[in-house]
Amino acid sequence: EAGVAQSPRYKIIEKRQSVAFWCNPISGHATLYWYQQILGQGPKLLIQFQNNGVVDDSQLPKDRFSAERLKGVDSTLKIQPAKLEDSAVYLCASRPRTSGGELFFGEGSRLTVL
Amino acid sequence: KNEVEQSPQNLTAQEGEFITINCSYSVGISALHWLQQHPGGGIVSLFMLSSGKKKHGRLIATINIQEKHSSLHITASHPRDSAVYICAVRDAGGTSYGKLTFGQGTILTVHP
């Protein structure tokens, strides 16, 4: 079974530029999460999708971050414009069922904002 | 106070030692995950628990729902076990969508 795919693995941009990350969850997984993990901290939820609907985006900085999951399969997370404090690893995870099931993470996309 | 607290934050051990990492939480949960993250790598799910105990190889995870506490044990530790171990709890609230809250992680270093 293929895992959660993320790209790019690494991205370096200057502040005020924009960046987009892509995630393809495991086939059939209804729930998809985007997390931000700053060095030395645990992951922080940015947004949770159930199929193509948003379940929780309370911690997403909506003035600069956006995410979509068209057709309920793959998802894109965009940051525009980026700030220095956005430097982090952006993790995508998926889960097969709404109320149970193991969690599967991608390798993450490491963003450095200069 | 964080909803999920792990201890210790840093742990150094010699190869072969028995290791315990603790996780305490303050909210009602439907499940608890133990995750492993290697430097520069993604996160791997080790266990998902809702009660009792699970074992996989040298890893054992236990949970006490009444005391809101879980432990991850590593027997006969090895340098390749060096990683960050993260506890995450799934909300047992009214929604079935299962919001996850993460601990800050425990950095484990096992020396040969």
Q: State pLDDT tens for residues A31-40.
A: 899 999 998 8
Q: Does A106 touch chain B (CB under 8 A)?
A: yes
For A76-93, letters b (16+ CB in 10 Å) and e give ebebeebeeebbbbbbbb
Q: What confidence score (pLDDT) does residue B84 get?
A: 94
Q: Beta strands B59-64 and B52-56: pairing type?
A: antiparallel
What is the average per-residue pLDDT within A41-54? 89
pLDDT at A101 exceeding the cut of 90: no
Q: State pLDDT tens for residues A11-31.
A: 999 999 999 999 999 998 988
- In the numeric block, the tokens 């133990």 are attached to B34
Q: Which chain B residue has its CA at the smallest distance from A106's CA?
A: B42
Q: What confidence score (pLDDT) does residue B95 get?
A: 53
> Length of chain B, please?
112
CB contact under 8 A, A42 and B100: no
Q: Beta strands B106-111 and B10-14: pairing type?
A: parallel
Which positions in chain B touch A100 (Cβ < 8 Å)? 30-31, 98
What is the average per-residue pLDDT within A103-113? 93
Nearest by CB to residue A102, choosing from B41, B48, B102, is B48
Alpha-carbon distance B36 to B33, whole Å?
10
Higher pLDDT, A84 or A50: A84
Which positions in chain A touch B42 (Cβ < 8 Å)? 91, 105-108
Alpha-carbon distance A17 to A25, whole Å?
27
Worst-scoring range by mean pLDDT, A81-85, A99-103, B25-29?
A: A99-103
pLDDT at A48 exceeding the cut of 60: yes
Q: Does B9 touch chain A (CB under 8 A)?
A: no
Per-residue pLDDT of chain B (112 residues; tens, 9 = 90+): 568 999 999 999 999 999 999 999 998 888 899 999 987 778 899 999 999 999 999 999 999 999 999 999 999 999 999 999 999 998 776 554 567 888 989 999 999 9
Nearest by CB to residue B43, choosing from A48, A50, A91, is A91
